């Protein structure tokens, strides 16, 4: 199995401030860590490798200091790490990030599974994973809390939904994003740390990836952050009971009432 894990380096605090001028995050003076959800992604990659053999490649886009986070991933046991870094990538939103990652995945070549954390704690969008899958034209499943198994080119996973869970089987290559319920990330080992310290981490730039400058960095980012807030909790929904025909009739009536159709 060739597994790719995408990680992001984030500020070591949930209290990030926004630069009023550019409406982007102020990162100076804040210690950086691997996005906590990505630790679960790394751990799941390592566990799947232990079970099925193969390799785990960790991929990250960001400034050169992200090398430190990649070294941490290596010290946990990842086989190799690659940094995507170029001034042209700076200021990327989720779309431009996913595009850049997709070019890197193409450059890596054949793979079986991409694992991402469910979201980054600094942006909270949960978009990069799904966008990356779309760009690569592979199936994806989000909020995975358990991988049941991988057999004959198919993976079976359980994903969390607001109401409960869904069990889904889909063909590989594919992408999953994982939630913290999936595992407990391991700590690095001393031998892992020593190995990570010496490891060569290639840095791929825009020219090496052959990225379209219109699609990377600030230029390739249509997102404009106006305000950051926590959305209100959605209501519990409504359950229609009775025979299937009855349920459908009720639903259609309801959709008409609320002018949805």
Tell me how far apart the alpha carbons of residues 216 and 68 are, in angstroms, rounded to a whole number. 23
Minimum distance of other proteins from residue 76's CB (angstroms): 10
Task: Output 2 or 186, the one with its CB closest to other proteins.
Answer: 186
Contact status, residue 53 vs residue 123, Cβ threshold 8 Å: no
- Check binding of 190 to other proteins (CB under 8 A): yes
Q: Is the dihedral of CA 125, 131, 132, 138 positive or negative?
A: positive
Tell me how far apart the alpha carbons of residues 231 and 149 are, in angstroms, rounded to a whole number. 35
* Structure tokens that stand for 29 in this block: 């003076």
Cα 10 to the center of its chain, rounded Å: 13
Minimum distance of other proteins from residue 185's CB (angstroms): 11
- Check binding of 193 to other proteins (CB under 8 A): yes
Q: Is 137 helix (H, G, I), strand (E, B) or coil?
A: coil
| Nearest alpha-carbon partner for 4 in 130, 107, 140, 105 | 105
Task: Output 137 or 184, the one with its CB closest to other proteins.
Answer: 184
Task: Output 48 or 114, the one with its CB closest to other proteins.
Answer: 48
Task: Output 21 or 184, the one with its CB closest to other proteins.
Answer: 184
The region of 55-63, 192-200, 219-227, 239-247 touching other proteins under the rule CB under 8 A is: 192-200
- Please select the residue that binds other proteins; options are 31, 110, 187, 260, rule is CB under 8 A: 187
Tell me how far apart the alpha carbons of residues 258 and 23 are, in angstroms, rounded to a whole number. 36
Tell me how far apart the alpha carbons of residues 105 and 54 are, in angstroms, rounded to a whole number. 17
* Structure tokens that stand for 226 in this block: 């106006």
Tokens 């760009």 -> residue: 135
- Please select the residue that binds other proteins; options are 194, 225, 228, 251, rule is CB under 8 A: 194
Tokens 């595009």 -> residue: 99
The region of 92-100, 108-116, 182-190, 249-257 touching other proteins under the rule CB under 8 A is: 182-190
The region of 34-42, 49-57, 162-170, 181-189 touching other proteins under the rule CB under 8 A is: 181-189
- Check binding of 188 to other proteins (CB under 8 A): yes
Tell me how far apart the alpha carbons of residues 146 and 236 are, in angstroms, rounded to a whole number. 25
- Check binding of 68 to other proteins (CB under 8 A): no
- Check binding of 148 to other proteins (CB under 8 A): no
- Check binding of 195 to other proteins (CB under 8 A): no
Task: Output 190 or 261, the one with its CB closest to other proteins.
Answer: 190
Contact status, residue 57 vs residue 80, Cβ threshold 8 Å: yes
- Please select the residue that binds other proteins; options are 148, 167, 169, 191, rule is CB under 8 A: 191
- Check binding of 23 to other proteins (CB under 8 A): no
Q: Which residues bind other proteins (CB under 8 A)?
A: 186-194, 197
């Amino acid at each position: 199995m060739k597994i790719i894990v995408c990680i992001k380096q984030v500020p070591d605090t949930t209290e990030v401030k926004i630069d009023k001028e550019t409406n982007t995050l102020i990162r100076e003076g804040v210690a950086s860590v691997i996005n906590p959800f990505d630790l679960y992604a790394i751990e799941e990659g390592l566990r799947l490798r232990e079970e099925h053999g193969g390799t785990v490649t960790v991929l990250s886009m960001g400034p050169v200091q992200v090398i430190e986070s990649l070294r941490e991933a290596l010290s946990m046991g990842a086989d190799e790490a690659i940094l995507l870094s170029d001034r042209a990538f700076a200021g990327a939103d989720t779309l431009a990030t996913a595009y850049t990652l997709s070019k890197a995945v193409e450059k890596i070549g054949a793979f079986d599974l991409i694992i991402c954390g469910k979201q980054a704690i600094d942006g909270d969008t949960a978009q990069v994973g799904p966008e990356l899958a779309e760009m690569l034209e592979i199936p994806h499943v989000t909020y995975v809390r358990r991988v049941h198994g991988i057999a004959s080119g198919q993976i079976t996973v359980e994903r969390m939904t607001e109401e409960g869970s869904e069990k889904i089987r889909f063909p590989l290559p594919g992408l999953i994003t994982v939630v913290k319920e999936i595992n407990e990330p391991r700590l690095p080992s001393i031998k892992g740390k020593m190995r990570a310290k010496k490891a060569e981490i290639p840095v791929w730039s825009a020219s090496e990836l052959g990225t379209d400058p219109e699609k990377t960095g600030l230029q390739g980012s249509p997102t404009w952050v106006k305000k950051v807030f926590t959305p209100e909790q959605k209501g519990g929904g409504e359950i229609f009971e009775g025979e299937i025909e009855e349920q459908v009739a009720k639903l259609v009536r309801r959709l008409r009432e609320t002018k949805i159709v």
